[in-house]
Structure 1
Amino acid sequence: MRLWSLHPSYLDAKGLVAAWREALLAQKVLAGATHGYRQHPQLVRFRDTDEPRAAMSAFLRGIHREATARGYTFDVEKIIRGPLLAGEAELTEPGPDWIDVPESASSPAPATAAVGEDAAPARPRAASAPERAQATPDTRTVPLIPVRQGQLDYEAELLTFKLRLRAPKLVSRLEADLRNARLEIHPLFTTVPGGIEPWEKVRDDL
Structure 2
Amino acid sequence: MRIWSLHPGLLDRPGLTACWREALLAQAVLAGRTRGYTRHPQLQRFREQPDPVVAIGAYLAGVADAAEARGYRFDRSRIDMPGPAPRMTVTEGQLEFEWAHLRAKLAKRTPERLRYARRPVPHPLFTVEPGPVAEWERP
| Coarse TM-score class (shorter-chain normalised) | over 0.9
> CA offsets, 1:51-90, max 9 Å, x none?
1000000000000011111111211100012531xxxxxx
Q: CA deviation at 1:172?
A: 3.3
Q: Which amino acid aligns with 1:146?
A: T
Contact in 1 for aligned 2:7/2:122 (Cα 8 Å)? yes
Give the structure 2 partner of residue 30 of structure 1. 30
Give the structure 1 partner of residue 137 of structure 2. 200
Structure 2 portions without partners, runs of 5+: none
RMSD of aligned Cα (Å): 1.0
Give the structure 2 partner of residue 66 of structure 1. 66
State the SS of the aligned residue for 2:128. strand
Query: How many angstroms apart in 1 are the aligned matches of 2:83 and 2:46?
Result: 15
Q: Provide closer, same or farther for how the CA distance between residues 82 and 166 of structure 1 changes in structure 2, counting only shifts above 3 A.
A: closer
Q: TM-score, normalised by structure 2?
A: 0.96
Asked if 1:184 is matched to 2:127, the reply is no
Q: Which amino acid aligns with 2:57?
A: S
> CA offsets, 1:7-40, max 9 Å, x none?
0011000000000000000000000000000000
Query: Number of matched residues?
Result: 139
Asked if 1:145 is matched to 2:106, the reply is no
Moved over 2 A (4+): none
Bigger RCO (CA 8 Å, 6+ sep): 2
1:155 to 98, 116, 125: 98
Contact in 1 for aligned 2:53/2:81 (Cα 8 Å)? no
Q: Which amino acid aligns with 2:61?
A: R
State the SS of the aligned residue for 1:73. coil
Structure 1 portions without partners, runs of 5+: 85-141, 178-182
Map 1:117-128 onto structure 2 (within 5 A): none
* Structure with higher helix content: 2
Q: TM-score, normalised by structure 1?
A: 0.66
Give the structure 2 partner of residue 129 of structure 1. none
Contact in 1 for aligned 2:12/2:106 (Cα 8 Å)? yes
Q: Which amino acid aligns with 1:17?
A: T
Map 1:36-51 onto structure 2 (within 5 A): 36-51=36-51
Give the structure 1 partner of residue 112 of structure 2. 169
